[in-house]
Amino acid sequence: MADSPVPALDGYEPDPRRWKALAVCFVGGFVTMLDVSILNVALPSIQGALHAGPTQLQLVVAGYTLAFGLVLVPFGRIGDTRGRRRMFMIAMAGFAAMSLLAGLSQTDTQLAVCRLLQGGFAGMSNPQVSGMIQQMFRGRERATAFGFFGATIGVSTALGPLIGGIILALAGTQTGWRWIFFINVPICLAVLPFARRLLPSPPPRGASTRLDIVGLILIGAGTALFMAPFVTTPTTGFFDDPGRWIWVIPAFVLAPVTFFWERWYQHRHHAAVLNPGLLHDRSFVFGAAVGCAYFSGFTALMLVLSMMLQSGLGHTALVTGLVQLPYAIASAFCASQAGRLVPKLGRSLVVFGLAATLVGLVIVIVVIRVSSPSAIVWTLAAALLIMGLGNGFVISPNQALTFQDVPPQYGSVAGAVLQVGQRTGSAVGMAVVLAVFLSLFASQTPVSGPTEAARVAAGTALIISAGFIAIALGVATADLRRRSH
């Protein structure tokens, strides 16, 4: 007998099928988050095959993040009102289609456009997962579910370079990058029938389905204007094109306009896209701030290491991926344990994880600068193991603590806002760190050679990453003190 959909749990009634539904969500979450990092090791192959210029390569990597962040809040709200299962299934189908077209791309422009649309469908699916966890679970079970979700995010991002390296090794550097996209198609298609059968049903007919169109436009425009300068950073330097920073000005102007509009709309219709009441939830505000700062710090790490190992030290994509494997394993293990520990330890678990991550990153920087070229692969792997242990105790516990007081009916929107903060942090951190690396690498190569130039550039750039993680640690410590009073 086929499983029927898990009922919408506004009145909470535990159902054993919710864990099957959660597994379906995680498969979708894994494949969309994997594409954040899997392309890192394939950029040299794409550049050679499509003769891609710096701007197109930047859009291929950062355009995914831009589109991902742009649609999170609007489709979080649409999922809350029109059905999370429906939005999730549309997103999976669209993601599969864009993956197929990306793999078939014949020019760098075609690939950049496909990546933008692929990121949009990924952003459509992600808040539905957070909302369905809020809807299907309560108490300790919710913390456990978010623990597994955090593990999915961390592991998929960390495994991306390794999986990409394996595909390139098997399929060849000329066409292997295409198979990085093609593998998404059967996975997404396999998810669809299980999603239809297991995920929570749409809201009942009596539920409010009013959409705040003006709010959707304001939030989307503000997000796009703020993120655009960061995802179009020139490869020659962070401030080489000052004119593009003018887009940040209207983004800041739109922020108070959006706030007052949403407050009025919520008071009048009780259906704002971004309920201003979330800003009164101190657990949510602190958690979102920690997530934004942390993702600013750690997202660029794997890309910088990949470029250093391949472009500077001459290692293959597979070796580059294997160096990062200990990070993925440690992160997965700790994240799986975090759901059990966070109800007991609370914010102190996140503080510990951030401190361990920061210590690990400092060791990575030291290893880059002092380790011999013959030993750097092994010493980096060991240092990344320490970072992975810390990372596993950051992402999933922070999500659980952030959502602990959020009502289930706002689950998707709250998840979308948290993800917007993380994607914005990723864009900012990637832009700053990558621009510093590229400019130093270009200026130092004629002087000291590619190997030494890559080591100097990577070590310097990652100091900025360490600064972002230190900010996250400071915010988490302040929240820990708040909770202890």
Domains of the chain: 18-199+210-484 (1.20.1250.20)
Note the maximum CA span of the chain.
70
pTM given for the model: 0.79
- Asked if residues 194 and 257 have their Cβ atoms less than 8 Å apart, the reply is no
d(CA 35, CA 71): 17
d(CA 195, CA 178): 27
∠ CA(112), CA(126), CA(77), 5° rounding? 105
Dihedral sign for Cα 34, 38, 40, 46, please.
negative
| CB-based burial, 283-297: b 16+ in 10 Å, e otherwise | bbebbbbbbbbbbbb
- Asked if residues 313 and 375 have their Cβ atoms less than 8 Å apart, the reply is no
In the block, residue with structure tokens 């993380």? 422
Question: 310-362: per-residue pLDDT in tens?
Answer: 888 888 878 888 888 888 888 878 887 877 788 788 889 999 999 999 999 99
Return the structure tokens found at 94: 């669209």
Predicted local confidence at residue 358, as pLDDT: 95
d(CA 353, CA 473): 9
- Lowest mean pLDDT segment, chosen from 280-284, 287-291, 477-481: 280-284
- Asked if residues 465 and 433 have their Cβ atoms less than 8 Å apart, the reply is yes
- Asked if residues 292 and 422 have their Cβ atoms less than 8 Å apart, the reply is yes
Q: What average pLDDT does range 222-235 have in this prediction?
A: 72
Residue 5, pLDDT > 50, answer no
- Whose CA is closest to 122, among 96, 158, 95, 153? 95
Residue 390, pLDDT > 50, answer yes
Tell me the residue ranges of DSSP E strands in 135-197: none
- Asked if residues 393 and 154 have their Cβ atoms less than 8 Å apart, the reply is no
Q: What is the distance, to the nearest Å, from the Cα of residue 334 to the centroid of all Cα atoms in its chain?
A: 18
Per the prediction, the chain carries an average pLDDT of 83
Predicted local confidence at residue 7, as pLDDT: 44
The DSSP output letter for 308 is: I
Q: Where does the pLDDT of residue 55 fall: very low under 50, low under 70, confident under 90, or very high at 90 and above?
A: low
Residue 412, pLDDT > 70, answer no
d(CA 167, CA 162): 9
Residue 9, pLDDT > 70, answer no
Question: 457-471: per-residue pLDDT in tens?
Answer: 999 999 999 999 999
Question: 354-386: per-residue pLDDT in tens?
Answer: 999 999 999 999 999 888 877 889 999 999 999
Residue 6, pLDDT > 60, answer no
Number of Cα atoms under 13 Å in the Cβ half of residue 23: 9
Predicted local confidence at residue 188, as pLDDT: 94
